[in-house]
Amino acid sequence: MNEGAAQLIEQASRTLGPKAVITDPRDIEPWISDWRGRIHGASPALLAPSSTEEVVEIVKLAAEHRVPLVPQGGNTGMSAGATPPADGSAILLSMRRMNRIRSIDAEDHLAIAEAGVVLATLHEAAHEIGMRFPLTLGARGSCTIGGLTSTNAGGTQVLKFGTMRALVAGVEAVLPDGSIHNGLSGLKKDNRGYSIDQLLIGAEGTLGVVTAVALRLVPAIAARAVAWAGVESPMRALDLLRFLEVRTHSIEGFEIVPRDSLELVLKHVPGTRPPLSAEHAWHALIEATTPDDDVDVSGELERLLGLALEQGILGDAVIASSEAQAEAFWKIRDSISEAERAEGQTLAHDISVAVPEMPRFVVDAKEQIERAFPGVIASGFGHLGDGNIHFHVRAGGHAAPDWYDAEGAQITRFVDDLVTAAGGSISAEHGIGQLKRAEFARLAEPGRVHALRAIKHALDPLGIMNPGKLVP
């Protein structure tokens, strides 16, 4: 351990006490690898502040001793942004003890939650007052408000409610010089120049430590309808979404699933069954909701899907007849990554292109990759309505055990080149972290790189906030 880190740990132990300074390697060990278990780091200590004032104390010590901090929430991020470097030069800053919901108000439609509040806890708190925080994703039992804010997370309801950027009303954060930015006032209008709140959203811990967030709530759901439709292509799936969107405001989820992803889930995930009896090349999972008790959302969706069937937009569709069946449909969608892992080695790409371009992109990219790398199987599934697909490439049956390490980088470059040529983004919702940093550096426009570096340097001239992440 370097001398600066040793001094920081010693001073932090004295001022913050043993609960906030953990140095036993056994307690640190679970937090130094990324969620996928691919990147492994090291840290001489894990600091766990319980208040904004304690974060200020820690950031000031880090600046004084020039020791980098790596903020961490639930460690569920997909780009290894919360994993410290392997040389042990940085200290982990866990925000999980800052887990109070400071206020929650149905009339104001606002909750103020500390950074370490777990998403599912916020969901429950909103539900108790007849409201809802509408962003949700598979890691909701572990990911935190600070992490979601710092990665500008998306999830399955973005179509209607947007990403964290749209749902955050303000941010409280400790900036790299130890000053506090307080954006929690709940002002609807505030035009005092650059939005520091928006700068911190998606900053992946490189510009400061998010300590609390004001979040927008919406009325709770009174009823929902979940449908599974068979369509012949992603183009038809987008036609279906457009057809529904002009006729109702109730659609909030629209995911596409190709046949081979469905087959993998049925093969590997116990208890799953095909929603439709006939086979279809593609499927759309549709969720419609209403906050209004008087609206028959299920009847409306059934009528619209019937019309779409008559017009030849879809091949067949079924509406879940119970909450259990609705959950079973979602389980298929949510289990695709797990089923792929059970099948073998998989390379994941979280990409976006403009919504109207996405259907063609999915089909063309699959063809091109399978031609360029014989034996692999490519498929895209996910948030079609957001122009965001999880584009996964699987090693075929005869791949070598080291396929991922040997060929992964080359295949990813190929995918990223296709995305860039289509004017898209190599990271739609998972951020850059350390996993995508080299590719980001290779492909980003010079103006974007210049602006990112300038902002980083202006706010964090000592480079103590999560260095080696995001900024090329």
Ligand X SMILES: Cc1cc2nc3c(=O)[nH]c(=O)nc-3n(C[C@H](O)[C@H](O)[C@H](O)COP(=O)(O)OP(=O)(O)OC[C@H]3O[C@@H](n4cnc5c(N)ncnc54)[C@H](O)[C@@H]3O)c2cc1C
The interface with ligand X within residues 304-343 (CB under 6 A) comprises none
The tokens for 134 are 């509408």
Does residue number 147 form part of the binding site for ligand X (CB under 6 A)? yes
> Contacting ligand X (CB under 6 A), which of 9, 56, 63, 143?
143
Q: Which two tokens stand for residue 252?
A: 């909030």
Q: Is 385 in the site for ligand X (CB under 6 A)?
A: no
Among 49, 84, 154, 253, binds ligand X (CB under 6 A): 154
Q: How far is the CB of 206 from ligand X (least distance, A)?
A: 8
> What residues have CB less than 8 Å from 317, skipping those under 6 apart?
227, 228, 229, 230, 276, 305, 308, 309
CB of 143 to ligand X, least distance (A): 3
User: DSSP labels for 271-332?
Assistant: T---SSSS--SEEEEEEEEES-TT--HHHHHHHHHHHHHHTTS-SEEEE-SSHHHHHHHHHH
Please state the closest distance from residue 161 (CB atom) to ligand X, in A: 13
The piece of 147-155, 226-234, 263-271, 277-285 that touches ligand X (CB under 6 A) is 147-155
CB-nearest residue to ligand X:
147
- Nearest distance from C-beta of residue 134 to ligand X, angstroms: 13
Judged by CB under 6 A, does residue 68 bind ligand X? no
3-state SS of 115-156 is CCCEHHHHHHHHHHCCEECCCCCCCCCCCEHHHHHHCCCCCC
Span 260-289, contacts to ligand X by CB under 6 A: none
Contacts of 180 (CB under 8 A, 6+ apart): 52, 56, 172, 173, 174, 211
Is residue 216 within 8 A of residue 169, CB to CB? The reply is: yes
Asked whether position 146 contacts ligand X by CB under 6 A, the answer is yes
Q: Are 373 and 345 in contact (CB under 8 A)?
A: no
Report, in Å, the least distance between residue 337 CB and ligand X: 7
Cα separation, 231 vs 314, in Å, equals 5
For ligand X, the binding residues in 201-240 under the rule CB under 6 A are: 204-205, 209-210
Report in angstroms how near the CB of residue 164 gets to ligand X at its nearest. 8
Q: Phi, psi (5° rounding) for residue 3? A: -65, -40
Rounded CA-CA distance 201/281 in Å is 38
| Total site size for ligand X, rule CB under 6 A | 36
Query: Among 85, 88, 138, 162, which residue interacts with ligand X (rule: CB under 6 A)?
Result: 138
Region near ligand X per CB under 6 A, out of 149-157, 182-190, 285-293, 455-463 = 149-157
Based on the shown chain and the rule CB under 6 A, indicate whether residue 63 belongs to the binding site for ligand X: no
| Torsion of Cα atoms, 146 then 151 then 156 then 161, to 10° | 80
- Whole-angstrom CA distances from 452 to 46, 278, 305, 351, 399 are 28, 50, 45, 20, 39
Pick the piece of the chain touching ligand X (CB under 6 A) from 18-26, 146-154, 247-255, 316-324: 146-154
The C-alpha atoms of residue 65 and residue 61 are separated, in whole angstroms, by: 6
Q: Is 429 in the site for ligand X (CB under 6 A)?
A: yes
Nearer Cβ to ligand X (41/258): 41
At its nearest, how many Å lie between ligand X and the CB of residue 78? Answer: 5
* Residues within window 23-42 making contact with ligand X, judged by CB under 6 A: 35
Task: Pick between residue 156 and residue 250 the one whose CB is nearest to ligand X.
Answer: 156
- From the list 315, 217, 297, 306, the residue with the least C-alpha distance to 252 is 297
Q: Is 290 in the site for ligand X (CB under 6 A)?
A: no
CB atoms within 10 A of CB 56: 18
Q: Which stretch binds ligand X (CB under 6 A): 124-132, 151-159, 238-246, 308-316?
A: 151-159
| Binding map of ligand X across residues 98-137, x = CB under 6 A, - = no contact | -----------------x---------------------x
Residue of 12, 20, 139, 184 that binds ligand X (CB under 6 A): 139
Task: Give the whole-angstrom CA distance, residue 291 versus residue 131.
Answer: 10
CB of 44 to ligand X, least distance (A): 18
Q: How far is the CB of 195 from ligand X (least distance, A)?
A: 17
76 binds ligand X (CB under 6 A): yes
* Residue 430 near ligand X by CB under 6 A: yes
With respect to ligand X, which residue has the nearer C-beta, 58 or 70? 70
User: Within positions 341 to 380, which residues make up the interface with ligand X, using CB under 6 A?
Assistant: none
Query: Which residue is listed with tokens 């920081």?
Result: 8
Residue selected from 58, 62, 90, 95 as contacting ligand X according to rule CB under 6 A: 95
8 Å CB contact between 313 and 239: yes
Under rule CB under 6 A, residue 466 binds ligand X = yes
- Cβ closer to ligand X: 284 or 319? 284
Tokens found for residue 366: 């699959």
| 106: Cβ contacts below 8 Å, ≥ 6 apart | 129, 130, 131, 217
What are the residues binding ligand X (CB under 6 A)? 35, 70-78, 81-82, 95, 115, 137-139, 143-144, 146-148, 150-151, 153-155, 204-205, 209-210, 429-430, 433, 466, 469
